A and B are shown apart, each in its own frame.
Chain A
C-alpha cells in the first residue's frame, strides 16, 4: 500500500468472470481483485497504489489524494435507546465507505451522538438516508458546518471543529476557512442571477466560458461554509431549474472569522455560540436572538438575550418578566391535585437547562444547530 506503507500477505488473486475466479497473476491492463488479511478498513483507501513489498515501486500511480472530510454534521438518535443502533450503523457503513469519519459527540440539547465528516453535501445526504433506510432509526441531523483553521499568536494551528474550540479574539493571528472551486453550468439568460447569488455568498469570480451561445460555464471561488446553506436551492430558483453545479475543495484562505457568543441574562451560554464571517455575523446574530426570544418562555425575571463578539454587543432582545400567572381557585380542597399540577410543571422546568436564575428550553439549543434559513 503506497500511501501508508502497510504490508499484507496476498491470499488470493482473481478476476471477475463475472463471478470471482481465482488466477495466478494479474498483468498490465487487467482488472481483478486481490484478497489479503486487512483488518482495518482505514488502511485501504480508494485510489491507492498497491505494490510488491519485496520490490516496491519508487513512485505511486499519480492522482491519488487521500479523501478528507470537508463537511461535518452531527447525528443524534431521536430516542436515547437509538444510540447503540446508530453506533453500529456507522461502523457498518464505514466498512464499505472508508471516507466516512465519525467520532462520539455530546450536545446540551440532543444528548449523545456522533460527529461525522463527509466529502461533501451529497455524501452527507447519502449517509443520512442510508442510516435511516438501512438501519431503520430516526436521527436528528444538525446543520452542516466546516472546519476552520486558526493560527494563534503563539504560532499554534488549531483546527476548529466546533465553536467551543475557537480561541478568544485576542489570541488569533489569522483565521482561515475552506474555499471550494465551483463550476456552474447555466443558460446564458441566468448569468445575472447566478452572479448575484455567488456575489452575495462572498464568491470571487474566476472566469466564464461559453460552451455555445446559450450555455455558459461560470467558475467561482466560494467559501465552503456559504454553500452549505440554501445555495443549491437558490441556484435552481435563479436559473429556473436549468443550472447545475459541481465543486471541489480548493484550499484554505484567510478570512475575517469571528465567534459570536450568546449571553442569556449576562451569562455566556456555550451551546449557543457560533462562528461566522464578520460580514454576516450581525445578521445571523439578530436572527438567532430574535428566534431565541420567541423560544424562551417568560420567567420570574426579565431575560436579556445578547449576542456579542468579544466584548462588543451586536444584537439584543428581551423576554419580558412574567407578570401574571393563572390564579385559580381550589375547589373542594383537592390539594393533592394542585400539588400534582405543580409537580408536573416542575418536571417540565427540570428538563430545561438552568443558566443562573433562567431556564432555557432544549429548543433554544436546537435553534442554533439547525439550518437557519428555514
Chain B
C-alpha cells in the first residue's frame, strides 16, 4: 500500500508576526475560513485525480499555518469526513493541528479531540512578555499558561508539542533559564527548539540589520545549547531531529516523513508536495491559488525535477538532520554505486574531524556536527 502524509495550509492569522515570511492573511471574519475550505475541497478532488492518489493510505494529517486553531470544529469535521471518504486512514494515523495561544479554549480542545485530532502543536515561542511583544506575537504570557493548563486539565491529548525560540536579541542566560523552567514545569511529550531565522523583507530583519550586536551570538548559543541538552537528557528527552526533541514514542510522524524523504501531499495556498520523486509547490498568493482552482486547474505552479546526484544529496541532507542518520545500504539500493561512493568519501572526511560518526551502517551527526550542520550540508550539496 502506498502511504503518504497530508499537509493542509491554513493561511489566516489574527496578527502577522514580525519575523514571519509565510503566506498568511489577516483573519477578518469566519467566512474567510469557510470559503477557503470550500476551495480546499475542490483542490483535493483535482489533486487526487491529477496525482493519482485514489488508493493511498494516509499515515498523518497536519493542519499547519497560519493559525489552524482558528478553524471551527464544524468545518474541521466536514473536512476530515471528506478525507475519510477519499482515502484510507492508517491504524496509527497522527492528526495534528497547529494552535496559537489565545485561539483555543478547553471547549474547543475537547471538540477537536472528539473529531479525531490526536496531536496539538502549540506555537509558544517564549514564556516572557518581553520577547512575545518583540516578536509581534498576538498573545501574552497569561494566555500561554491558560492554554497549557486547559490542555493538561482536559486530559484528552497525550501527544502534544510546543515551539520555543532561543538566541533572541537581548536574551540572557537567566532569560533562557526561565524558559527552561517553564518547559520542565509542563514537560510536553514533544517540543521544537530553534533559532529565529529572518528571511529578507520581514520587518524584524530590516530593524535588526542595523542592530546585529543585539543577538547573543553563536558562542553564547553553543554554550546554552549544550547546557540545555544535558538537562533535557536527564528528563528523558531525546533529540531525534536537529530542532526537535521528544520523549520516546512521541516523535512527530508527520515531520519524519519529510526527513525520511517519503511522499507527502500539500493542500492549500503555497503548500509543498513531494510525490513520485517530484517536489511541487502551489501558487503562493491566495487570489492566484483560488483562481486556478475555480478554473479547475491544478494549483501546482512549480515542479522541481532533480537529477540523481541532486536527489542523493538532498536525501542525505534530510537524513542527517535526524538521529536515524544516513543508512549506507539504503543509498546503495537506490542510487548508482559510483555516486554513493563519492559521497561516502565525504562522510569519512567529516568523520575524521568528528562531525559525524558511523554506527551500525548509519552515519549520524555528532553533537559538534549538529551545531554546524549547515556547513556540512553545503559540502554535501554540489
Is A11 interfacial (CB-CB < 8 Å)?
A: no
Q: Note all chain A residues with C-beta closer than 8 A to B186.
A: none
Contact present for A323 and B218 (CB under 8 Å): yes
- Contacts A323-B372, A342-B381 supplied; 6 other A-B pairs, CB < 8 Å: A300-B376, A324-B371, A332-B7, A333-B258, A334-B281, A346-B381
| Least CB distance, B256 to chain A, in whole angstroms | 11
Contact partner, A336, options B64, B218, B255, B281, Cβ 8 Å? B281
Q: Note all chain A residues with C-beta closer than 8 A to B244.
A: 329
Is A240 interfacial (CB-CB < 8 Å)?
A: no
Contact partner, B375, options A325, A328, A335, Cβ 8 Å? A325
How far is B243's CA from A330's CA once the two chains are assembled, in angstroms?
9
**Binary contact track B262-298/A, C-beta < 8 Å → 1, others 0:** 0010100001101000010100000000000000000
Complex A-B, nearest 5 residue pairs according to Cβ-Cβ distance, in ascending order: A323-B222, A324-B222, A325-B374, A324-B371, A324-B218
How far is B379's CA from A345's CA once the two chains are assembled, in angstroms?
11
How far is B222's CA from A149's CA once the two chains are assembled, in angstroms?
53
Q: Note all chain B residues with C-beta closer than 8 A to A298.
A: 218
How far is B376's CA from A241's CA once the two chains are assembled, in angstroms?
57
| Least CB distance, B163 to chain A, in whole angstroms | 7
CB contact list, A331-374 vs B, under 8 A:
331-337, 339, 342-343, 345-346, 349
Can you name 9 A-B pairs with beta carbons within 8 Å?
A300-B355, A300-B375, A323-B222, A327-B373, A331-B22, A332-B266, A335-B279, A345-B378, A346-B381
| Least CB distance, B363 to chain A, in whole angstroms | 17
How far is B258's CA from A297's CA once the two chains are assembled, in angstroms?
32
How far is B257's CA from A268's CA once the two chains are assembled, in angstroms?
47
**With contacts A301-B353, A333-B264, A339-B314 known, is A327 near B195, CB below 8 A?**
yes
Q: Note all chain A residues with C-beta closer than 8 A to B64.
A: 331-332
Q: Note all chain B residues with C-beta closer than 8 A to A337.
A: 272
How far is B192's CA from A335's CA once the two chains are assembled, in angstroms?
18
Binding site for A on B (CB under 8 A): 7, 9, 22, 64, 163, 192-195, 197, 218-219, 221-222, 225, 242-244, 255, 257-258, 264, 266, 271-272, 274, 279, 281, 302, 304, 314, 317-318, 353, 355, 370-378, 381-382
Q: Note all chain A residues with C-beta closer than 8 A to B255.
A: 330
| Least CB distance, B175 to chain A, in whole angstroms | 18
Q: Note all chain A residues with C-beta closer than 8 A to B193.
A: 327
Q: Note all chain A residues with C-beta closer than 8 A to B302.
A: 336
Q: Note all chain B residues with C-beta closer than 8 A to A325.
A: 218, 371-375
How far is B197's CA from A328's CA once the two chains are assembled, in angstroms?
7
| Least CB distance, B155 to chain A, in whole angstroms | 28
Is A322 interfacial (CB-CB < 8 Å)?
A: yes
Binding site for B on A (CB under 8 A): 298-301, 320, 322-337, 339, 342-343, 345-346, 349
Contact partner, A335, options B314, B370, B374, B381, Cβ 8 Å? B314
**With contacts A300-B372, A328-B194, A329-B192 known, is A342 near B377, CB below 8 A?**
yes
| Least CB distance, B88 to chain A, in whole angstroms | 21
Contact present for B374 and A342 (CB under 8 Å): yes
Residue of B nearest to A322 (CB): B372
Most chain B CB neighbours (cut-off 10 Å) among A301, A333, A343: A333
Residue of B nearest to A323 (CB): B222
Contact present for A336 and B375 (CB under 8 Å): no
How far is B195's CA from A322's CA once the two chains are assembled, in angstroms?
16
Contact present for A333 and B304 (CB under 8 Å): no
Most chain B CB neighbours (cut-off 10 Å) among A298, A335, A349: A335
Q: Note all chain B residues with C-beta closer than 8 A to A323.
A: 218-219, 221-222, 371-372
**With contacts A323-B372, A330-B258 known, is A300 near B382, CB below 8 A?**
no
Q: Note all chain B residues with C-beta closer than 8 A to A334.
A: 272, 281
Contact present for A324 and B378 (CB under 8 Å): no
| Least CB distance, A359 to chain B, in whole angstroms | 10
How far is B271's CA from A337's CA once the two chains are assembled, in angstroms?
12
Contact partner, B378, options A332, A333, A336, A342, Cβ 8 Å? A342
Q: Note all chain B residues with C-beta closer than 8 A to A332.
A: 7, 9, 22, 64, 266, 271-272
How far is B284's CA from A332's CA once the two chains are assembled, in angstroms?
13
Contact present for A336 and B279 (CB under 8 Å): yes
How far is B255's CA from A326's CA once the two chains are assembled, in angstroms?
19
Contact present for A336 and B372 (CB under 8 Å): no
Q: Note all chain B residues with C-beta closer than 8 A to A322.
A: 218, 372, 375
Contact present for A345 and B374 (CB under 8 Å): yes
Contact present for A326 and B374 (CB under 8 Å): yes
Q: Note all chain B residues with C-beta closer than 8 A to A299.
A: 375
How far is B258's CA from A331's CA once the two chains are assembled, in angstroms?
10
Contact partner, A324, options B9, B225, B243, Cβ 8 Å? B225
Contact present for B374 and A339 (CB under 8 Å): no
Q: Note all chain B residues with C-beta closer than 8 A to A349.
A: 378
**With contacts A324-B225, A327-B243, A329-B243 known, is A336 near B371, CB below 8 A?**
no
Contact partner, B372, options A324, A328, A329, A333, Cβ 8 Å? A324
How far is B317's CA from A343's CA once the two chains are assembled, in angstroms?
13
| Least CB distance, B352 to chain A, in whole angstroms | 11
Residue of A nearest to B197 (CB): A328
How far is B284's CA from A337's CA once the two chains are assembled, in angstroms?
13
Q: Note all chain A residues with C-beta closer than 8 A to B258.
A: 330, 333, 335
| Least CB distance, B257 to chain A, in whole angstroms | 8
Contact present for B218 and A346 (CB under 8 Å): no
Contact present for B221 and A324 (CB under 8 Å): yes
Q: Note all chain A residues with C-beta closer than 8 A to B317.
A: 339, 342
How far is B77's CA from A257's CA once the two chains are assembled, in angstroms?
84
How far is B64's CA from A345's CA once the two chains are assembled, in angstroms?
28
Contact present for B7 and A333 (CB under 8 Å): yes
| Least CB distance, B314 to chain A, in whole angstroms | 6
Contact partner, B382, options A301, A336, A346, Cβ 8 Å? A346
| Least CB distance, B267 to chain A, in whole angstroms | 11
Q: Note all chain B residues with C-beta closer than 8 A to A330.
A: 255, 258
Contact partner, B272, options A301, A328, A333, A346, Cβ 8 Å? A333
How far is B64's CA from A347's CA once the two chains are assembled, in angstroms?
32
Q: Note all chain B residues with C-beta closer than 8 A to A342.
A: 317, 374, 377-378, 381
| Least CB distance, B286 to chain A, in whole angstroms | 16
**With contacts A331-B64, A332-B7, A332-B266 known, is A326 near B195, CB below 8 A?**
yes
Q: Note all chain B residues with C-beta closer than 8 A to A343.
A: 381
**With contacts A325-B372, A325-B373, A329-B192 known, is A339 near B381, CB below 8 A?**
yes
| Least CB distance, B37 to chain A, in whole angstroms | 17
| Least CB distance, B200 to chain A, in whole angstroms | 11
How far is B306's CA from A212's CA once the two chains are assembled, in angstroms?
84
| Least CB distance, B347 to chain A, in whole angstroms | 14
Q: Note all chain B residues with C-beta closer than 8 A to A331.
A: 22, 64
Residue of A nearest to B271 (CB): A332
Q: Note all chain A residues with C-beta closer than 8 A to B219.
A: 320, 323-324
Residue of A nearest to B373 (CB): A325
Q: Note all chain A residues with C-beta closer than 8 A to B7.
A: 332-333
